[in-house]
Amino acid sequence: MCLIVDADAAGRFLANPSPLRNWLLGDKGDPRLVAAGRLMRELVKLGDVRRLLATLNRAGRLRSADAAQLRKEESRLRGGRQCQSNDIHVVALALVSGARTLATLIMRLPTTSGMQS
């Protein structure tokens, strides 16, 4: 299962002990954290998260996305004006990577119907 953790939730779910962090580091299932582009740049600024990313990468549990595809999807979302999120880069990453689970502190996410390419 692929999971995206938004930078606003990284302190709660990745930097500190949490069930999500335990799952990513544990031996149950085949979890993958997806991070690329702007989200990756935001996450590596957080020291504890940066160390976890390195650990996940060494364990083969960190997944990236093609930078060109990611930029193209971000541009498409901005131009289409269907996406109302202020985190278009996170929505684009979900669409490009296929990840369908998002950990965020945003209480109300905008609809993404009709945004599939």
The 10s digit of each residue's pLDDT in 12-61 is: 999 999 999 999 999 888 999 999 999 999 999 998 999 999 999 999 99
- Percent of the chain surpassing pLDDT 90: 72
Name residue 32's amino acid: R
> Is 61 inside any structural domain?
yes
Domain that holds residue 35: 2-103
Instruction: Tell me the pLDDT band of 110, cut-offs 50, 70 and 90.
Output: low
**98: CATH:** 3.40.50
Asked if residue 111 has pLDDT above 90, the reply is no
Report pTM: 0.85
How many structural domains compose the chain? Answer: 1
Beta bridge partners of 3: 33, 101
Output the DSSP codes for the chain: -EEEE-HHHHIIIIIS--HHHHHHHSSSS--EEE--HHHHHHHHTSHHHHHHHHHHHHTT-EE---HHHHHHHHHHHHHH-----S-HHHHHHHHHH---EEE-S-SSPPP-TT---
